[in-house]
Amino acid sequence: MSGTSVQGIAVVTGGAGFIGSHMVDLLLSEGLHVRVVDNFVGGHRSNLEHHKGDENLEVFDADIRDMDSIRPAFDGARYVFHFAGIGDIVPSIERPIDYMATNVQGTVHVLECARAAGIEKLVYAASSSCYGLAETPTLETHPIRPQYPYALSKFQGEEAVMHWHQVYGLPANSVRIFNAYGTRVRTTGAYGAVFGVFLRQKLAGKPYTVVGDGTQERDFIYASDLAKAFLAAARTEKSGEIYNAGGGNPQSINRLVELLEGEVVYVPKRPGEPDVTWADITKIQSELGWAPEIPFEEGVRRMLADIERWKDAPLWDPDSIANATKTWFTYLGNGRKA
């Protein structure tokens, strides 16, 4: 029955997606009643099937672009975790309106529903892409320089969250996610996140398509660690705060290849991609007492244990990547050093 949990009700938008489903796992294990709001475009029911029959999980097939469709999920809610949105660089360059409608206006709909429900705390899933080509390690106060519409839309969503906090007193925090990885990372759709690309290539016995020389580093953070960061950002008394969440320990793409084992093929470096992403996590560590727990080697091991999930994922090679990233080079390459 809904709302019977002593810990209260948590709404997870995008709860059938990659990070959202890890959030659902954590909330259920902490004794909360969870309401997933998902339109099942990027999200999949299979990401929640291990909770089948759990009375503390309700699923709302609803779209954040349609406020009336999501409103009922917020009734009596204590916490809201807002992960719903659309990702990937290239489609955001090709379809900016969709990105603004979902990631900005959709967020405004979530904020209005949360406000009407009188929630205790909303936590927004922001993106470290707002920093653009940043100095590292990157602090929350670093200048904002989105490089493509996806980054802009996620940042404007965050601005809306902070505005609702400021104007309406909505209790809310934002967590800027660095490179999230983990089981259930997306297997379908546009060319994107390196794990999905490489795991499928490994299954097919094809070389890993390494961008540039592979020395670029990313601040990978395992999804279940992220879920803990979000819960800490909900439980804190603090409000109106922005926190970086990363591993704080960047890993090179060459190191990832070493752990996965196999041949490589090189594809051109592209404009707008930082050489290093590296979160300064001092603020979240000191204010929320959060720290990443899963070392990179362990996270990669878990993903390899689950590699069969990628057997139907798209298989990328240098030619199909060149084709898929054409728009990227055209629009982001303007005289910029690639």
Alpha-carbon 217 to chain mean position: 18
Query: Is 276 in a helix, a strand, or coil?
Result: strand
Closest to ligand UDP by CB, 92 vs 236, is 92
Helix (H) or strand (E) holding 213: none
Crossing angle for the helix pair 253-260 and 296-305, to the nearest 10 degrees? 50
Please return the burial class of 124, using the count of CB atoms within 10 Å of its CB with bins 0-12, 13-18 and 19+.
buried
Closest to ligand UDP by CB, 71 vs 270, is 270
C-beta nearest to ligand UDP: residue: 211
> How many whole angstroms separate alpha carbon 13 and alpha carbon 110?
9
Closest CB 181 distance from ligand UDP, rounded Å: 8
Closest to ligand UDP by CB, 253 vs 288, is 253
Number of residues that bind ligand UDP (CB under 6 A): 13
Residues between 235 and 274 with contacts to ligand UDP, criterion CB under 6 A: 253, 273
Closest to ligand UDP by CB, 76 vs 212, is 212
- Joined together, the tokens standing for residue 326 give 């054409």
> How many whole angstroms separate alpha carbon 18 and alpha carbon 29?
17
Closest CB 257 distance from ligand UDP, rounded Å: 9
Closest CA to 302 of 241, 244, 220: 220
In this structure, are strands 79-82 and 57-61 parallel, antiparallel, or unpaired?
unpaired
Closest to ligand UDP by CB, 116 vs 265, is 265
Which string of x and - marks every residue 183-212 that binds ligand UDP (by CB under 6 A)? ---------xxx--x-----------xxx-
Closest CB 44 distance from ligand UDP, rounded Å: 19
Based on the shown chain and the rule CB under 6 A, indicate whether residue 120 belongs to the binding site for ligand UDP. Answer: no
Closest to ligand UDP by CB, 3 vs 192, is 192
Closest CB 291 distance from ligand UDP, rounded Å: 22
Residues between 274 and 333 with contacts to ligand UDP, criterion CB under 6 A: 277
Based on the shown chain and the rule CB under 6 A, indicate whether residue 177 belongs to the binding site for ligand UDP. Answer: no
Respond yes or no: is residue 266 known to be catalytic: no
In this structure, the number of other CB atoms found within 10 A of the CB of residue 321 comes to 18
Rg (CA), the chain: 19
> How many whole angstroms separate alpha carbon 255 and alpha carbon 218?
11
- Joined together, the tokens standing for residue 21 give 């489903």
> CB under 8 Å to 171, separation ≥6 — which residues?
119, 120, 121, 122, 165, 239
Of these, 218, 223, 290, 328, which contacts ligand UDP (CB under 6 A)? 218
Based on the shown chain and the rule CB under 6 A, indicate whether residue 57 belongs to the binding site for ligand UDP. Answer: no
Based on the shown chain and the rule CB under 6 A, indicate whether residue 216 belongs to the binding site for ligand UDP. Answer: yes
**Active-site entry in 79, 148, 150, 243:** 150
- Residue ranges binding ligand UDP (CB under 6 A): 179, 192-194, 197, 209-211, 216, 218, 253, 273, 277
The catalytic site residues sit at 150
